[in-house]
Amino acid sequence: MGVLYRSFCLLGIVLTALLSASAVAQVSSLEDLAFYSEVYPPANFIKDDAPAGYSVDILIEAAKLQGVQITPQQIVIQPWARSYRATLTNNDAVLFSTTRTEHREDLFKWVGPISDIKAVVLSRVDSGIVIKEPIDMANYRIGVIRDDVGEQMLLELGVPREAMQEANYVTQLAEQLMKKRIDLLAYDENAALWWTGQAGLDPKMFKVVYILKKGELYFAFNKHVPQKVVEQLQMGIDRLKSEKNAEGISLHQAIMNRYR
């Protein structure tokens, strides 16, 4: 019985390895990948039932320069936490736009950068809240997006998770902040203020009380994606930044200018 059990275990390990190798072998181009994102304007969002934003445009145009067509069907826009987990668990997955942090560095293969980012903590202008040290935030209720860089930075700074209130959409947090159900909101500054406007709120009613991190956005590939496929997109982005249009502006900057 012991020998038979060990034989089945060994067979299971071999089959798992073969299936995993087969999944990786099927990925030979950017066309074979699924690109996971969230509603995070102006980088990535949904417009007219299709993915849009400067990160989406950069992805499509960089791939095109490499002779590859990325279709809208390859891009999945859903809550951040779901996209984050999907990329970690699927061998043919890419996550974007993703802030490159020390916490995430070894979890993915990175391509970019796409653009700059500034993660901040916002409060209501009339709140009177002053944050001098990160631990000061432990005295308040902080709204975060689950698995977002804002949440991760707060944890790295020693802010207890008990002080955080998670949500899937920043509009929910903005409304809670205005209704005083939370005291602070941690998110990318530009995206947070864009969303408050979309929710019918005046962005001028919020102020930055703490800067969590200045960084850059990237495409984060599952670590099992072959390196040649990762490099395929990197070379396309490098060309976007080096090649210029008729006006003498880099193709990359021309895309960014569409969303300013």
Amino acid of residue 169: Y
Q: What angle do CA 112, 87, 33 make, to 5 degrees?
A: 70
The reported pLDDT for the residue numbered 196 is: 80
Is the pLDDT at 9 greater than 90? The verdict is: no
pLDDT in tens, 32-63: 999 999 988 889 999 999 999 999 999 999 99
> Is the CA virtual torsion 71, 77, 80, 84 positive or negative?
negative
Give the domains, in start order, of the chain with CATH numbers: 30-116+216-258 (3.40.190.10), 118-214 (3.40.190.10)
Question: Could you give the CA distance from residue 91 to residue 70 in angstroms, rounded to a whole number?
Answer: 18
Which structure tokens are listed for 134?
């990160």
pLDDT in tens, 153-180: 999 999 999 999 999 888 899 999 999 9
231 — pLDDT class (breaks 50, 70, 90): very high
| pTM value > 0.75 | no
Question: Could you give the CA distance from residue 98 to residue 32 in angstroms, rounded to a whole number?
Answer: 20
pLDDT in tens, 197-219: 877 888 889 999 999 989 899 99
Question: Could you give the CA distance from residue 235 to residue 210 in angstroms, rounded to a whole number?
Answer: 36
246 — pLDDT class (breaks 50, 70, 90): very high
Q: Which residues contact 221 (CB under 8 A, 6 or more apart)?
A: 87, 93, 94, 95, 108, 109, 110, 111, 229, 230
Are 54 and 259 spatial neighbours (Cβ–Cβ below 8 Å)? yes
Q: Which residue has the higher pLDDT, 4 or 55?
A: 55
Q: What angle do CA 136, 137, 139 make, to 5 degrees?
A: 80
Distances (CA, A) of 200 to 16, 99, 181, 185, 221: 51, 27, 18, 17, 35
